[in-house]
């Protein structure tokens, strides 16, 4: 399927439904959950009733071949509030990592555990980062060792969304230290398993409605079947790792989720830009709306342009993921880098445009400013995205448009726009036209003139 921007009626319905949910359910309680740092259970219940909190919903979005459903949904939801949005989609992030590793049977077993159902909601967590290393996955120290029919996990995790309160924790641990980061595997650890301890809930700068925690695994035992992917796959991966091939069990998942996270940042950025523009149109200084001053409108114009550019990068990466195209130029990282950085710049400018009001809690812009900063840090910092993009610069793969799949009619190759045949025919036609009376040229001119807008 070729890359395009036409939205289907289902896309538009998804946007409208999510936007209404963000406007009517999330925004009215966003400031409360931010200030109190209170987990938004009642919003999760409402999301579940609306169909936004179940594994099949996300399966459906990921399965959209245009790639647009996922970023459209994320942008609208996070336009409401990033902290509440994260609480809603955290199980989907954990499930996405799980889906990379798990067998189909394991997915069937654990996916319902990640979400539950209305009235009996469940939570999931993805546990990768550790006090000694978030960016450097080679430095992860949590270990899992086999003991009969069980795996025993020991280690320390930090900044874990839903950590300790989740029904299922997807835990990254090293099973073979000699294989470095390739010797890691993922385990499903149910909440309440002896040896899994919630050390503390972390108090955050932004996204405060979401629960983020520090965890310890101390002799935490899970059945052998909780190794995601199973024994045979692990043995194959370790054998590959010994030959220097393969990759970390979680890096692949991060690549897939980067456009998803980029779209979240777009939602925060758009909320702030819309607010700043409306404020600037209303607020007067020196006898006119401040938006009439180029000192205010020019930065907003730049940022509006950057926001659209970031959205295009995000949609492209998401389309590529849906088409299972490899990110030869780190297109996923490009989308996350640009969207997160523009979100920080836009929210900062929104505070500036709103002046003193922007700095106090009367307006939502200071919250968006705090929320946006997370996006240059988690799911790979901006520096790490640059490292990933930088690495692709040396292998000089051709640009994406040199290898896009084609899905137009075969005849287009011979007679389509820009082909040599058309150029030759056009040249001959010009010669004939020069010798033909204008009255006779009216009909052919009508045929070749591009259609007028609305015509
Ligand atoms: C609110 C929140 C929620 C989170 N949720 C989760 C979660 O659910 N699950 C999870 O596993 N993790 C989660 N994280 C962790 C997050 O992914 C890490 O914080 C992030 O990967 C950075 O790791 P670090 O904090 O250890 O920073 P470090 O890796 O110590 O980096 C510190 C600084 O050095 C820079 N740096 C590091 N290496 C390089 C390099 N090679 N070149 C240039 N600069 C470099 C970094 O960019 C950064 O600026 C969350 C974090 C936060 C704040």
Q: What is the Cα–Cα distance from 46 to 42, expressed in whole angstroms?
A: 6
pLDDT at 84 over 80: yes
Beta strands 284-285 and 150-161, pairing class: unpaired
Distance 255 CA to ligand 1 centre (A): 15
Query: Which tokens sit at 97?
Result: 């990592």
Which range has the worst mean pLDDT, 160-174, 314-328, 386-400? 386-400
Question: Closest Cα to atom 38, ligand 1: which residue?
Answer: 135
DSSP-based three-state secondary structure for 255: helix
Q: 109 alpha carbon to ligand 1 midpoint, in Å?
A: 31
Instruction: Tell me the mean pLDDT in the region 245-273.
Output: 83
**Domains delineated in the chain:** 121-242 (2.40.110.10), 250-398 (1.20.140.10)
Q: Whose CA is nearest to atom 44 of ligand 1?
A: 383
Q: What is the mean pLDDT of residues 152-176?
A: 97
Asked if pLDDT for residue 455 goes beyond 60, the answer is no
453 alpha carbon to ligand 1 midpoint, in Å? 50
Question: Residue 413: which pLDDT band, with cuts at 50, 70 and 90?
Answer: confident
Please report the pLDDT score of residue 434 as a whole number. 86
Q: What angle do CA 347, 135, 341 make, to 5 degrees?
A: 20
C-alpha 100 chain-centroid distance: 16
118, with CB counted inside 10 A (0-12, 13-18, 19+), is middle
Percent of the chain with pLDDT over 70: 96
pLDDT tens for 315-370 read 999 999 999 998 999 999 999 999 999 999 999 999 999 999 999 999 999 999 99
Q: How far is CA 294 from CA 178, 285, 289, 290, 298, in A?
A: 60, 13, 11, 9, 5
pTM over 0.85: yes
Closest Cα partner for 368 from 159, 244, 205? 205
pLDDT band at 410 (very low <50, low <70, confident <90, very high): confident
- Average pLDDT along the chain: 93
135 lines ligand 1 (CB under 6 A): yes
pLDDT of residue 252: 60
Report CA dihedral (384, 389, 395, 400) to the nearest 10 degrees.
150
Query: What are the tokens at 219?
Result: 């002799």
Residue nearest to atom 50 of ligand 1 (CA): 159
Enumerate residues 6+ apart whose C-beta is below 8 A from 173: 140, 142, 143, 144, 153, 155, 184, 185, 186, 187, 217
Q: Has residue 454 got a pLDDT over 60?
A: no
Q: Please write the tens of the pLDDT for every residue from 203-250.
A: 999 999 999 999 999 999 999 999 999 999 999 989 888 887 766 656
């Amino acid at each position: 399927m070729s890359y395009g921007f036409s939205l289907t009626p289902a896309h538009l319905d998804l946007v409208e439904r999510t936007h209404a949910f963000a406007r009517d359910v999330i925004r009215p309680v966003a400031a409360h959950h931010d200030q109190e740092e209170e987990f938004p259970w009642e919003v999760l219940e409402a999301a579940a009733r609306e169909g936004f909190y179940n594994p099949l919903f996300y399966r459906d979005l990921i399965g959209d071949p245009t790639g647009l459903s996922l970023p459209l949904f994320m942008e609208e939801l996070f336009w409401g509030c990033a902290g509440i949005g994260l609480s809603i989609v955290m199980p989907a992030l954990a499930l996405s990592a799980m889906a990379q590793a798990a067998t189909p049977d394991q997915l069937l077993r654990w996916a319902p555990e990640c979400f539950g159902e209305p009235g009996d909601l469940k939570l999931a967590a993805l546990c990768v980062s550790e006090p000694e290393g978030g960016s450097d996955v080679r430095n992860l120290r949590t270990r899992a060792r086999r003991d009969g029919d069980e795996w025993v996990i020991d280690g320390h995790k930090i900044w874990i969304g839903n950590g300790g309160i989740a029904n299922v924790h997807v835990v990254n641990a090293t099973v073979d230290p000699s294989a470095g980061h390739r010797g890691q595997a993922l385990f499903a650890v149910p909440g309440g398993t002896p040896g899994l301890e919630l050390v503390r809930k972390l108090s955050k700068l932004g996204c405060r409605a979401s629960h983020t925690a520090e965890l310890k695994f101390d002799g935490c035992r899970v059945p052998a079947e909780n190794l995601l992917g199973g024994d045979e796959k692990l043995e194959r991966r370790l054998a590959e790792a010994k030959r220097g091939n393969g990759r970390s069990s979680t890096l692949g998942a991060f690549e897939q989720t980067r456009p998803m996270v980029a779209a979240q940042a777009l939602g925060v950025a758009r909320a702030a830009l819309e607010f700043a523009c409306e404020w600037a149109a209303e607020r007067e200084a020196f006898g006119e709306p401040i938006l009439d001053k180029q000192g205010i409108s020019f930065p907003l114009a730049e940022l509006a342009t950057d926001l659209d550019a970031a959205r295009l990068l995000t949609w492209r990466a998401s389309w590529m993921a849906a088409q299972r195209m490899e990110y030869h130029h780190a297109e996923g990282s490009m989308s996350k880098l640009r969207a997160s950085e523009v979100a920080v710049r836009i929210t900062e400018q929104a505070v500036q445009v709103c002046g003193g009001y922007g700095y106090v809690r009367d307006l939502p812009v200071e919250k968006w400013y705090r929320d946006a900063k997370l996006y240059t840090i988690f799911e790979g910092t901006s520096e790490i995205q640059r490292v990933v993009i930088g690495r692709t610069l040396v292998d000089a793969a051709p640009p994406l448009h040199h290898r896009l799949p084609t899905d137009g009619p075969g005849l287009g190759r011979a007679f389509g726009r820009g082909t040599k045949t058309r150029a030759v025919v056009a040249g001959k036609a010009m010669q004939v036209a020069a010798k033909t009376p204008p009255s006779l040229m009216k009909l052919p001119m009508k045929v070749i003139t591009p259609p007028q807008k609305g015509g």
